[in-house]
Amino acid sequence: MIELRACIDVEDLDKAIAFYTQTFGLKPGRRDGSAWAELLGATSPIDLLARPAGSPSSPGASSVRDYRRHWTSVHLDFTVTDLDAVVQRAQAAGATLDRGIQEQKWGRMANLADPFGNGFCLLEFRGRGYDEIAGS
């Protein structure tokens, strides 16, 4: 079985730990000083990786890390049971609401960004969730 771990680059490890624990109720796991922290309590561990703005995004890459709001082809979706409450907690902890709550056939969602510009979605399933739109 493959274990999935989500890794999120952040500029300030303590600020990121505070954001993700306050917003989602995650708990700190292992930590390596100011370089890395593991958060537990989701279906997969989340690793916060402290990387300074302006550092190379990967070895040999010409692009550098920029913590303004940015687009990426991969993002995290967090399923929650009370979307309104989690949106409020996220904003209070420093998130930006990119797009307000939207009603979908399968439930509701909101698009946000963490304090480091990383986009994520909050999903609140209703009825059969994604099975409401899946072909039978």
**Residue 132: DSSP 8-state:** G
The Cα 121–Cα 136 span in angstroms is 26
Residue 110 within a domain: yes
Residue 34 within a domain: yes
Residue 86 within a domain: yes
Residue of higher predicted confidence among 72 and 82? 82
What integer pLDDT is reported at residue 125 of this predicted model? 97
What integer pLDDT is reported at residue 61 of this predicted model? 82
Residue 94 within a domain: yes
What integer pLDDT is reported at residue 60 of this predicted model? 84
Residue of higher predicted confidence among 14 and 74? 14
77-109 pLDDT, tens digit each: 999 999 999 999 999 999 999 999 999 999 999
Number of independent structural domains in the chain: 1
Instruction: Report pTM.
Output: 0.91
Residue 56 within a domain: no
What integer pLDDT is reported at residue 136 of this predicted model? 55
What CATH number is associated with residue 125?
3.10.180.10
Residues sharing a CB contact under 8 Å with residue 76, sequence separation 6 or more, in sequence order: 6, 8, 120, 121
Residue 112 within a domain: yes
Residue 127 within a domain: yes
From residue 26, alpha-carbon distances to 14, 63, 86, 89, 106 in Å are: 14, 31, 13, 13, 25
Residue-range definition of the domain harbouring residue 16: 6-51+75-132
What integer pLDDT is reported at residue 96 of this predicted model? 97
Residue 58 within a domain: no
First and final C-alpha spacing in the chain: 28
